[in-house]
């Protein structure tokens, strides 16, 4: 992870990032949890700004701090980070779920894999979370323009490849259609898609939002070959934000993931 972190820190100083909404004073987040111990990883879009700021927009500090910033490390620019400061950033990632995790987001996702032996929260760190874009932005992904999203994927897509290549991850779980589409773009692949009637999101008017399951085998991202095949499992509903995701739908997705993960691993 260290070599990839150095790349990510260096890019925060690049002119090409100035046109994005990346929070430049916040550290990159290569992983939530210890990637080096994880056989299963979930995949999202990018870290929430709430990993770094509170509801009023103030930087989280003290015992509530989740990740480091220029301020917490006493830096004026990221290229000045020394070996000790790099290690502090890595440790904040590895120990994320043992400190002050953003449970309002992660508990729902962890529940989907809880039918297996893998979890963010267990002592063996058997599961972790990754993002397509390892940088927090000042607004939600939906608030970014199409051009900003495309630019971020192009500028940082190789980071996910490097992280996965050097990890023991064998199963990657994609949370939501945006993640599925982003990874398909980066990998140049089209994952198998199957409609699942029991995942239909009900609507008062209309026929509702159909649910889809995705499966595939990942071998390459952004032109970087992985050291092994990685099983892809995904669903089009974003578990935390899709309106109308009921307990029954989450339970059905959980059952599907439990079966597929056990079959894959």
Q: What is the pTM of this model?
A: 0.95
pLDDT of residue 204: 76
Beta strands in the chain (DSSP E): 40-44, 127-131, 171-175, 192-195, 212-221, 224-235
- Give the least confident one: 18-32, 157-171, 226-240: 18-32
DSSP strand pairing (127-131 vs 212-221):
unpaired
- Residue 9, CB-side half-sphere exposure with 13 Å CA sphere: 24
Q: Which domains does the chain have, with CATH numbers?
A: 2-264 (3.40.470.10)
Pick from 55, 44, 230, 221: nearest CA to 120: 44
Q: Does residue 214 sit in helix, strand or coil?
A: strand
Cα(93)–Cα(116) distance, integer angstroms: 23
* Mean pLDDT value of segment 194-222: 92
Could you give the C-alpha distances from 40 to 153, 202, 225, in angstroms and in order? Answer: 22, 31, 19
pLDDT-derived band at 18 (thresholds 50, 70, 90) equals low
* Mean pLDDT value of segment 43-55: 94
Could you report the per-residue pLDDT of 84-102, keeping only the tens digit for each? Answer: 999 999 999 999 999 999 9
pLDDT at position 207 over 90: no
φ, ψ for residue 177, nearest 5 deg: -60, -40
pLDDT at position 83 over 80: yes
Could you report the per-residue pLDDT of 100-142, keeping only the tens digit for each? Answer: 999 989 999 999 999 999 999 987 769 999 999 999 998 888 8
> What's the chain's average pLDDT?
92
Q: Does residue 110 sit in helix, strand or coil?
A: helix
Q: Which residue has the tokens 């051009």?
A: 147
Could you report the per-residue pLDDT of 148-197, keeping only the tens digit for each? Answer: 888 888 888 899 999 999 999 999 999 999 999 999 999 999 999 999 99
How long, in residues, is the chain?
Answer: 265
């Amino acid at each position: 992870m260290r070599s990839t972190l150095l790349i990510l820190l260096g890019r925060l100083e690049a002119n090409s990032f100035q046109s994005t909404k990346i929070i430049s004073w916040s550290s990159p987040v290569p992983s939530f949890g210890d990637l080096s111990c994880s056989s299963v990883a979930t995949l999202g879009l990018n870290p929430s700004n709430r990993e770094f700021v509170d509801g009023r927009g103030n930087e989280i500090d003290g015992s509530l701090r989740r990740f480091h910033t220029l301020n917490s490390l006493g830096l004026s620019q990221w290229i000045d980070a020394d070996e000790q400061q790099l290690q502090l950033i890595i440790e904040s990632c590895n120990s994320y779920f043992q400190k002050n995790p953003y449970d309002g987001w992660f508990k729902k996702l962890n529940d989907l894999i809880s039918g297996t032996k893998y979890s963010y929260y267990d002592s063996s760190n058997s599961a972790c979370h990754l993002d397509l874009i390892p940088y927090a932005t000042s607004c939600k992904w939906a608030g970014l323009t199409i051009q900003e999203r495309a630019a971020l994927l192009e500028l940082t897509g190789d980071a996910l490849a490097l992280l996965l290549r050097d990890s023991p991850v064998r199963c990657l779980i994609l949370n939501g259609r945006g993640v599925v589409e982003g990874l398909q773009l980066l990998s140049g692949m089209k994952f198998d898609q199957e409609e699942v009637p029991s995942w239909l999101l009900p609507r008062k008017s209309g026929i509702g939002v159909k649910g889809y399951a995705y499966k595939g085998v990942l071998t390459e991202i952004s032109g970087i070959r992985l050291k092994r095949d990685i099983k892809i499992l995904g669903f089009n509903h974003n578990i935390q934000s899709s309106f109308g995701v009921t307990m029954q739908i989450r339970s059905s997705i959980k059952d599907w993931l439990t079966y597929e993960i056990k079959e894959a691993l």
